[in-house]
Amino acid sequence: MDLKSIINIYIDYRTKMQALGYASYIISWDSETEAPVGCLEERSKQVGVLSEMSYRLERSDEYINCVKTLYDNIDSLDELLKVEIKKVYKDLMNSLKVPMEELVEYSILISKSQNIWAEAKVNYNYSLFKSTLKEIIDFNKRYVKYLETESLKGYDVLLDIYEEGMTKEKYDKFFSLLKEEIVPLVKQIKEKNINKDPLFGKLFDVNKQKEFADYLMDVMCFDKSRGLIKESEHPFTSGYGTTDVRITNHYYEDLLISGIFSCIHELGHATYEQQSNPTLDSTLLGGGASMAMHESQSRFYENIVGRSYNFWVKHYPKLKSIFNEELKDVSLDDFYRYINNVECSLIRTEADELTYPLHIMVRYEIEKLIIESDVNVDELPSIWNNLYKEYLGIDVPTDKEGILQDIHWAGGSFGYFPTYALGSAYGAQMLESVKKDLDFEKEIGKENLKQINEWLKNKIHNFGSTKTPDELLNISTGKSFDAKYYVEYLKNKFSKIYSL
């Protein structure tokens, strides 16, 4: 068969897989936002059928041979297809390395483990979860063995899955710089102990909060004809191509800023998706390049833009006009201080910009131990608690606020956490470059973020996932990852706020 016919067969498979993927995406979006509880059991059967259909396509001999042949003829393919086939081939070969029975067994384990974890968490009882966690860890250790190559061993195998090119050596260097520079800075700030909450005890009407979220969508130039916003307990962004990008947000009457910053965060993810090159929509190269690259964008908008002074010089009057009564005694300076309060707290998702990476560092240290040593699951809670004491100086009262707080390990995700901190660090490195091309302080104080969006579009978003994270950093900043920009950014910002 000639190459052109093989390419056509590949495209035919890809089109079918994307259609099934789109159906699953819509169903899962609906389940997370609007579906009546009563339909969930029946729905899970239908979802099972769809995922089996796509699994059969992916594992059919015709498809596997087709990908292999295209990979063997990679130099004859056009540029875009070349990049796509390299990716598809790598993922396919990895998935073929793991025996099917083990994968099936593992997916059954994972479908149960999240409920077991949730049960343990509500009951403050780690012992209900620990044997399941051990099974998940044992699988991941075997999984690592299956996927090991000459250059990738141990924990590096998992790190590479979530962030291509990142290794333990690079992360160690990154986190040891944070340990050296940020842990003492946090300690210094903690000693100042001047946090105050000017919004304490006030209630903020949820409908008015939604009105402000709608205003933020315009500030960020979110294209409402190609996306929408709904509500869910944990905010997230999901989408399919550049024409259907959806975010959720949450609103708490007593926590005004939670809804504001999760909204900006998710809009950051959405901007990445909406600004990707639309010609990539029909390929497997649309959307973000990696977990950390995606997170770099959401956190760039949330923290670097959204928690900056000039942003609020422009937008605080709008917020005040919506919450006239509630904010009448809260000055812009008070508000700015409040949204940048540093507090050593127990819960990662509620952490401020400065302490957030320290929460990640705890998880990174533990994952290294889990994957590369024989640490006993019984010891994990005390290791967790000791690290919180060491990095954040706080005592963990119960396992609910400790080892059981995140769902990630119950879902089998090891190697994912470090990308959260890395994303913030990528963002700080990009800030240096944005400043060379734009009057950044002026741009964040404008009615909308059009110019900043445009910069990020040209340097990052437009490439979809056709480039590796390292290539994108080189395109956007002229160099590979260097943690010093992040550390300098944090030190400058918070030393100024806390007059250190």
Rounded Cα–Cα distance for residues 49 and 26 (Å): 15
Q: Which CB sits closer to Zn ion, 298 or 424?
A: 298
> Stretches 255-263, 294-302, 434-442, 446-454: which one binds Zn ion (CB under 5 A)?
294-302
Name the region of 149 (left: φ>0; alpha: ψ -120 to 50; beta: rest). Answer: beta
At its nearest, how many Å lie between Zn ion and the CB of residue 304?
A: 14
Residue nearer to Zn ion on the CB measure, 167 or 298? 298
Q: Residues 11 to 50: which contact Zn ion by CB under 5 A?
A: none
- Beta bridge partners of residue 255, listed in sequence order: 252
What is d(CA 270, CA 298) in angstroms, rounded to the nearest whole number? Answer: 8
Tell me if residue 334 falls in helix, strand or coil: helix
The Cα 354–Cα 182 span in angstroms is 8
Closest distance to Zn ion from the beta carbon of 269 (Å): 6
Site stretch for Zn ion (CB under 5 A), options 27-35, 298-306, 330-338, 344-352? 298-306
Q: Choose one: 139-147, 215-223, 277-285, 292-300; the region binding Zn ion (CB under 5 A).
A: 292-300
Closest to Zn ion by CB, 54 vs 405, is: 405
- Both tokens of 358, joined, read 């320290």
Interface region with Zn ion, contact rule CB under 5 A, candidates 10-18, 136-144, 163-171, 293-301: 293-301
Q: Closest approach of Cβ 355 to Zn ion, in Å?
A: 17
DSSP string, 14-58: HHHHHHHHHHHHHHHHHHHHT--GGGHHHHHHHHHHHHHHHHHHH
Of 298 and 453, nearer to Zn ion (C-beta) is: 298
The residue number with the shortest CB distance to Zn ion is 298
What is the Cα–Cα distance from 490 to 181, expressed in whole angstroms?
10
Q: Give the residue with the Cβ less far from Zn ion, 266 or 443.
A: 266
H or E element: which one contains 204? none
Beta bridge partners of 228: 246
Indicate the helix (H) or strand (E) that contains 218: helix 206-219
CB 298, min distance to Zn ion, A: 4
Nearer to Zn ion, 238 or 298 (CB): 298
Give how many residues touch Zn ion by CB under 5 A: 1
Cβ contacts of residue 273 below 8 Å, gap of 6+? Answer: 237, 239, 242, 245, 287, 288
Choose one: 104-112, 297-305, 447-455, 475-483; the region binding Zn ion (CB under 5 A).
297-305
- DSSP letter, residue 311: H
The β-bridge relationship of strands 237-239 and 245-249 is: antiparallel
Q: Which stretch binds Zn ion (CB under 5 A): 12-20, 37-45, 291-299, 395-403?
A: 291-299
Residue identified by tokens 């900056």 is: 308
The nearer residue to Zn ion, 298 or 340, going by C-beta atoms, is: 298
Closer residue to Zn ion (CB): 301 or 335: 301
**Catalytic site positions:** 266
Provide the residue type at 117 as one letter.
W
DSSP 126: G
Site string for Zn ion, 383-422 (x = CB under 5 A): ----------------------------------------
Minimum distance between the CB of residue 500 and Zn ion, rounded to whole angstroms?
29
Shortest approach of Zn ion to residue 300 CB, angstroms? 11
Who contacts 492 (Cβ-Cβ below 8 Å, separation ≥6)? none
Residue 238: which H helix or E strand, with range?
Answer: strand 237-239
- Shortest reach from residue 295's CB to Zn ion, in Å: 5
Binding of Zn ion by 298 (CB under 5 A): yes
* Smallest distance from Zn ion to CB 431, Å: 18
8 Å CB contact between 226 and 242:
yes
Interface with Zn ion (CB under 5 A): 298
